[in-house]
Amino acid sequence: MTEGRKDGTAGRRLVGVLVVLLASPLTAQQPTLAAARRFIDQAETQLEERSVHLSRTEWVAATYITHDTELLSAAAQADYGRLVQRLATEAARYDGVSMPTDLRRRFLLLKLSLSAPPPADSALGVEMARLQTGLEADYGRGTYCQASAGGTRCLTLNDLTRILAQSRDPAELLDVWRGWHAIAPPMRDRYARFVALANQGAQTLGFRDAGAMWRAAYDMPPDTFAAEIERLWEQVRPLYVALHAYVRHRLSDVYGPALVPPDGAMPAHLLGNMWAQDWANVFPLVAPRGAGPGYDLTAILRERVPDARQMVRYGENFFLSLGFDSLPTTFWERSQFTRPQDRDVVCHASAWDVDNRDDLRIKMCIEPTAEDFVTIHHELGHNFYQRAYKDQGFLYQTGAHDGFHEAIGDAIALAITPDYLVKVGLLDRAPAAAADTALLLRQALDRVAFLPFGLLIDQWRWRVFSGDIAARDYNRVWWDLRMRYQGVAPPGPRAADAFDPGAKYHVPANVPYTRYFLAGILQFQFYRALCREAGYVGPLHRCSFYGSAAAGAKLRRMLALGASRPWPEALEALTGQRDMDASAILEYFAPLRAWLDRQTGGVPVGW
């Protein structure tokens, strides 16, 4: 399974039967090079054989939320955890064996197969699996019920999202923001217990804590990786600060300085998104004065695209234009495209590879919006990546690092330019070049505004896992980090028991989030490389490589590597560079940055 755009590739979860594990012959092998090869080959076979059952169990748990499916999913996760825990522990017997780099890589990937390895005690492993399944289900069931003279109206996250996107009434925005965040306080103590158990599991594998284990997945020491993240952030921070100053100035004009202080943090509920993770929905309030009308993709989709399935066809056709094969028939039969009316489901967008071969699916509750149109392209990026590396060994069936998986779909989405929309018949003609500023601002409100949020979630979790933050301080430190990186504040004091991180899917679901920040950088590197391969010459933001067989061929070669090579080699295969580099995103937004600086002359910058 691969989670949806900003809201990656989650650790592979496989089911095992304990009696089979107890009969495993793997422990009989001696710690020699030949034994190490036999061990990892047999381990991969066990993992691959047992993965399909768990994938199906988790699919049902996500698309039919009931008490029983929760228990079945928790049991499957617990069995999988015991399998990986046993194999990873046995793998430690070979740590002292001198072995080729490729073999050593497979051993490390085995240890990193779980985002939350269970403790060695099987009873604690069962407890941890139930905690994780229950937290995710609580999020999926979350609603906000408003009492009024006409009765009680219960709103889903989709309903609340629409209100935050469309309403300009500060009181209504505050109400729904508080209403959704009220689902999270009951999670806090269970989450703290989950953290303690996850740390126990990580320590049995030789990691300091679960956060250090996550950071070990990037072909460099964990502390070096943390420094690399800060380096990338410092590259893009000036662009973000310029965007923040402009948006704050305009929103202060709209809502008044009492609500949006001209020189301070912006309140989270006024930025058009439940988590203020992107600001695309406030574009009408901050659009360049005197800008042309441009185009409204949401309105176009509502008028011209008959249903959710057809929206997905547009995404598939993009990949077909690059030379990829069509999605299998089962994709169209088994995916969840819309919210069912008869049951609870997890609507959070995700891409699935159920059988590690061809049973590809997406799970979404698609609405005819520009945001979902982009998300579809993103999710299919996961699916086409999954199929490209299906012939690799099981442990290599993932991205070069998890940011790669997220960045592929986003690089495709960057190519959803006006020229692309014209080619596929959704736009009659592209706006004139004079509309570029507005188009770039729309993109920046989505992609640049997201970067610090993509960074801070795991900054918070790494400190939670390390024990640096006690449960009573979870919320305080959460908002300290949001202030430091985003310049965003809560809309008023928060209660002592608030657990606002729990109102974001990836925290209760325990999905690592740094991948999204890395994808925010890498997608522009990938996009620029594909544009160059397609022979494009011109301003980077106008490029679409739709229809380029050359770009598609180069992309397929990189995707087919999976995780078989360290990520610098995969990056070099596509871009010619071995380092992650933000120069492409700065090039893309260079015309906007110059415009922002002109608009904010004499306006406070920073917070």
| Residues forming the active site | 348-349, 378-379, 382, 406, 506, 516
Whether the Cβ atoms of residue 454 and residue 514 lie closer than 8 Å to each other: yes
Spatial CA neighbour of 372 closest among 423, 320, 314, 327: 314
Asked if residue 36 lies in contact with residue 333, where contact means CB atoms within 8 angstroms, the answer is no
Given a contact cutoff of 8 angstroms between Cβ atoms, the answer to whether 89 and 205 are in contact is yes
CA distance 480 to 468: 14
Handedness of CA 541, 603, 250, 435 (dihedral sign): negative
Distance CA 532, CA 66 (A): 49
Work out the number of other CB atoms within 10 angstroms of the CB of residue 350. Answer: 26
The phi and psi torsions of 559 (rounded to 5 degrees) equal -60, -40
Kindly provide the b/e burial profile for residues 431-470, where b requires at least 16 CB atoms within 10 angstroms of the residue's own CB: beeebbbbbbbbbbbbbbbbbbbbbbbbbbbbbbbeeebe
Cβ atoms of 346 and 62 closer than 8 Å: yes
User: Which of 206, 275, 225, 260 is closest to 449 using CA atoms?
Assistant: 275
HSE (side-chain half, CA atoms, 13 Å) at 586: 11
Torsion sign over Cα 469, 474, 475, 479? positive
CA dist 66 and 403 (Å) reads: 32
Burial 88-111 (b: 16+ CB within 10 A, else e): bbbbebbeebebeeeebbbbebbb
CA-CA-CA-CA torsion sign (320, 325, 329, 334): negative
